[in-house]
Structures are given as C-alpha cells and as structure tokens.
Amino acid sequence: MRRFLLGIASVLCLVACSPSPSHQSSTIRIRWPRDPENLDPLVAPNSHAVEILNLLHCSLLSIDYNQKEFVPWLVEAMPVVRQRDSLTLVTYQLRSEASWDNGLPVLASDVVFTLKVMNCPGLPNEASRAQYGFIQNIEPDPADERRFTLSFRGRARELVHSSGDYPILPEHQLDPQKHLRRVSLAALRADTVPNKRRQQPDITAFVQRYQRANLNRQPENLAGCGPYRLVDWQTDRYVALQRKANWWGDRVKAAPPQLQAKPAAIDYEIIADEATAVLALRRGDIDIYPMMPAKDFLALRQNKAATQLSFYTADSYEMIAAGFNTRQPELQDARTRQALSYLFDIPGLIQASQQGMAYPSVSLVSPAAGESYHDSLPLLTFNTQRAQDLLRSAGWQQQAQGWTRRVANGTLQHLKPSISYRAGNPAYEAIALQFRTAAAKIGIPVQPRPTEASLFTEHLRTGNVELYLQLLSGNPFTYNFTPILHSQSIGWGNFTGFGTAASDQLIEAIATEGDPKRQAHLLRKFQYLLRQECPLVVLYFLQYRLAATNRLTNLHATGIRPGYEAAAIQSLPAGTIQP
C-alpha cells in the first residue's frame, strides 16, 4: 500500500512539476492529420505541403478566396495576354517592392531560373515538368529586368492561370555560380534522359548543389520571398512558421488581401486521430480544426459546454460520383446506365454518410456556379419503377435467374454489376450498401468491391471495374473535363471509357472559351449530354466543416482547399472572447 501511495505521489509530482506549454496569443495553431512529408518546392506531395510552400514562397499569381478568382501576387497586375499564330504570349510585370530576405529584388531572371529548375534533369521535378512543361519559352524584357513574356501553345484560360502558379525560387541562393544560365530552357526541356546530364558539367554541378541543400527535409535552407519562414519542423509532430519582420509585402501601399499576412506565427499541429483532435480543440491546445468529420462537427456544435468554439461551413467543389465503365458489355448502352443511376437514393445518402452536410447537383458543375449550372435539369431521384422501365427498354428481361438480355451475336448477358471503391472510407461503404439494397429490391445482384487504394487505381486504369465510386474535385475558376471525360484520357483519368467526337469537341470548346456567357451555354449543353449518356453521376458535393476558437477573427471558411486562409486570420488577445 505504501508503495502504491508512493507511486501516486510521484505521478502527481510529475504532473505538478511538468512545464506547462507556453502559448502566444498571436500564434495560430491549426490541426493537421498528417505530416507534409516533403517540402521541396519541386515535389510538394500533398495539400499540406502546398499550404506551407505557399506561406514560404510566392507565386506570380495567387487566389482570392472571397472573390474566387486568380489575383496578382508577385506581379503588379494580371498578365497581358496576346495571340501570335498558334502561340499564346503572356506578359507579366513583377512588383517593384518584391524582394528576397537579403534585400535583392525579385527579377525576371529568377523566373527564368525557376522554369529551368522545373525542367532540369536529375532533380525530383517529374511532376512539375509534366504540369508546367507546356511553357515553351520565356523572354525577359531587355529594357525592364522585372518584365518578361511566357509563351505556350493553346488558348485555354487555365493555361494562363497555370503559367503563374508555381513558387518562384531565388537564383542567387540556389545557383550563385549561375550554372543554369549557360544552359537554355529549350535544351533542358528536350533533355528527358537522366544519364545525359552527365555530359553537361553545368547541369551536374547545379544538381549536386540542389541535392546538397536537402530541401525535402530542411526547407529552411531555402529562404523564399513569402511572408513566413520555417523555424521548426518535427516529423509527425508539428511545423512552426514565423512571420518575417521585414517582409516586402508590408511595403506595398494599400496592400490587397493576398499581400497581407496577419498571424505572427502559425503552428501546424499534427494530430493523427480525430477523437484526440476534438479533445485538443476543447482543451484549447489547437485553435482551428479544419475538414472536421460531420459526426464530430454536429456533436460539438450541439454541445452546450463548447461555448468557446465557433463553427463554419463552406460549399466545396469536391464531389462524390458514381462512374460506369462503358467498356463493359452490360454497361455499353446509355439506358442501362440511366436505369442504374435511379437506384441511388441521394438525399438518403447525404443524410447517412454526411449527416446532411452535403448538397446535390445535377451534374459536374456546382449549383453555386450561377448561369453555368443547368438548373432546368431535374435532380436525380430514387425511382425503382423508372429504373425497371428503362432496363426493359434497353432489352433486359427479368427472369428467375435475374435480369438478362440476348445481344446481337446471340450471347446471353446477365446484369449483375459490381461496385468498386477505395476500402476504408465509410461514405463509399454506405453508398455501395444502399445501392446494393436498392438493386436487390428489383432483382439485380450487386457485388460491392472495396479495394486497396493502389490496386483500385490500377483497376480503374485497366478497366477492371464496372461501377465505381470516386472523389472528383473542381474549382470555381476554370472548367476542364479533359482529364476525366475526354477520349484521349481513357485509361489515365477517364475511367468511364466514355468519349465521342461530339463530347470531345464540347469539352475542348468549354476549356478554351474565353467569354463567360458562351462558356455557360456550353457548360449547360455538356451537363445535358452527361445526363443523356450517363457515363457518371454526381451523387453530392461535399461541404467543408471547420471549428475554431472564438478568439480568432477574420476567419473565413472557403470551399477551396485547405478550407481557410491561414495568413488572413487575426486573433484577439488571450482571454478575450468574441460576443
């Protein structure tokens, strides 16, 4: 007993003597479920890494979360766009205040350098190269070292946005010997064979220097021109950023929102488990819990004891869709696909899988998109009778062994589709089970196939699926359905196998159309086509949910990832609670 009491006393002593965590009220603490893993600006493997890189570095353009449009960041204004033959020329003018931490100005030569780094063989830039490889050339203005023109083929609006959407890197830090100045961008773009770089000592020397910087894990070795610098990163524990005392953005007169960075420090606290994160929020260990699961969000909102918290939601551009692999013989005709789409009970699914915190849409366009949304199309309803009628009109007959039909070559087809999805996601499981139950009611046996993530992607690519569930993401700026529905993307992102000359033409027209009215008309036409052909159906758009302590002000939940704008958030002094 004495030893037991001694044990209790030592634990209490440990608790009493333990250092209490000090917390500055000007620091914003945000919960993340996972580590950013790699903070090399060329790699940025996940949305968390992108979020940090956007605070450490600046791109030419940024996003205005309120207006939902691209805005100038490192540049004075949106670029001037001209057409020369098949080339699009985009001219940018860098801000005169833009400078690196050592006071050197950000110049066109830094942009040239960044493009060369993104195309330099021997660096882990494969994804950057694929994404920004469309930029063919950059011409600095000889009369103005802050002015330059990018050129590329194609007229899509999204290409103009993409041409300014990558962090600009400092040449004086990464390449003080100016090795890359001796190699042209065209030569780097053409060099796609890894061993070839050994023949070019300049490239080898630069690659070795870049690798020595170990930016993957030591991003502090590269001082970007963003408003924050990284002060500490402990893997799987936290990432701590501090605002620069003399950031160039402070010198801009009447600075627009994208050039304002309010918090003195931002700590990203990595808490893997959701229940622990809720507890940490309630204890006041974190200030913001973004992307909160619907169940926890509703429970916390209804908890009267959680008075120190505020709750935010925003309609996102992420949607859960059910795709039909049109390469499967049973799913080749549109009427069969339409029939099966009537078996999804969308309001029920929104309630069951998202606790009602999602919203339906007629197609791939968000209902918030105004004229572009085809509001004349009815929302999909759950209608087993309609499904049976459509199946009969597609030639299927209900018999003792299920729904069958005889096709042209005399073979008998059975309608018994499987529904594939990534294993471990409760929302997908709920959808698959609801679909199976509804299909069983009209005599269609459905086999749910939960599949490991990597294997699922492989199955999608090889067409080894029938129905499948997938998360699709869009944004409010541009519409480009090429990756998911164009025939040239079949096997890469278009897992439906759908694609006709007319649909391809429509997709291309939407992507390149510059006039909003004409684009809205094309989008409505496309939504109608999708409803007729039914290669995929959107079940619902997700809502982003965010809970935060009351002491934060100017916190706006947005429908664009990460769901908030960290640099805009302000905090009241500790102990102050907003009314």
Partner 1 sequence: MGHFLLHRLLRTFPAVWGVVSVIFIISRLLTQEQVLNHRFGEGETGSHVASPAQRQLAELQIRQRLGLTAPLFYFSAAPPPVAGLALRWQWNGAHNQYHNWLRQLLHADLGVSFRDDQPVVSLLLQSLRYTLPLTIGAALSCLALAWLLTPRLGRKSRGRSLLLTSLYLIDAAPLFVVSLLLLLLLANPEMVALFPAYGLGREDPTATWLVHFQTMAYHLALPMLTLTLASLPALVVQLDAALNHELRADYVLTARAKGLPDALVIRRHVLRNALIPVLALLTELLPSLVAGSVVVEMIFSLPGMGRLLAAAAAAHDYPVLLGGVLTVALVRVWGQVVADWLSFQADPRIRLPL
Least separation in angstroms between residue 492's CB and partner 1 is 4
Tell me the CA distances in angstroms from 19 to 13, 16, 313, 576, one per residue in order. Answer: 12, 8, 36, 24
Nearer Cβ to partner 1 (228/456): 456
Nearer Cβ to partner 1 (200/489): 489
Separation between Cα atoms, residue 208 and residue 287, nearest integer Å: 41
- Radius of gyration for the alpha carbons in the chain, expressed in angstroms and rounded: 27
Tell me the CA distances in angstroms from 446 to 27, 422, 435, 443, 473, one per residue in order. Answer: 52, 17, 8, 9, 27
Query: Nearest 5 degrees, angle CA 260-CA 149-CA 211?
Result: 70
Nearer Cβ to partner 1 (469/546): 469
Least separation in angstroms between residue 127's CB and partner 1 is 4
Give the DSSP per-residue string, 59-98.
Answer: -SEEEETTTTEEEESSBSSSPEEEEETTEEEEEEEB-SS-
Nearer Cβ to partner 1 (249/263): 263
Q: What is the DSSP letter of 215?
A: T
Least separation in angstroms between residue 252's CB and partner 1 is 27
Least separation in angstroms between residue 442's CB and partner 1 is 30
Which parts of 120-170 fold into alpha helices (H)?
126-132, 157-162
Rounded-to-5 percentages of helix, strand, coil across the chain: 35, 25, 40
Least separation in angstroms between residue 44's CB and partner 1 is 7
Nearer Cβ to partner 1 (34/406): 34
Separation between Cα atoms, residue 281 and residue 283, nearest integer Å: 5
Contacts by residues 279-286 (CB-CB < 8 Å, ≥ 24 positions apart): 280/31, 281/31, 281/309, 281/547, 281/549, 282/306, 282/309, 284/308, 284/549, 285/21, 285/29, 286/29, 286/30, 286/31
Dihedral over Cα of 300, 301, 307, 313: its sign: positive
Nearer Cβ to partner 1 (269/565): 269
Least separation in angstroms between residue 19's CB and partner 1 is 6
Nearest by Cα to 113 from 41, 24, 64:
41
Least separation in angstroms between residue 335's CB and partner 1 is 25
Least separation in angstroms between residue 325's CB and partner 1 is 15
Tokens of 227: 């408003």
Nearer Cβ to partner 1 (37/389): 37
Nearer Cβ to partner 1 (152/396): 152
Q: How many CB atoms lie within 10 A of CB 305?
A: 8
Least separation in angstroms between residue 400's CB and partner 1 is 40
Q: How many CB atoms lie within 10 A of CB 350?
A: 22
Nearer Cβ to partner 1 (46/398): 46
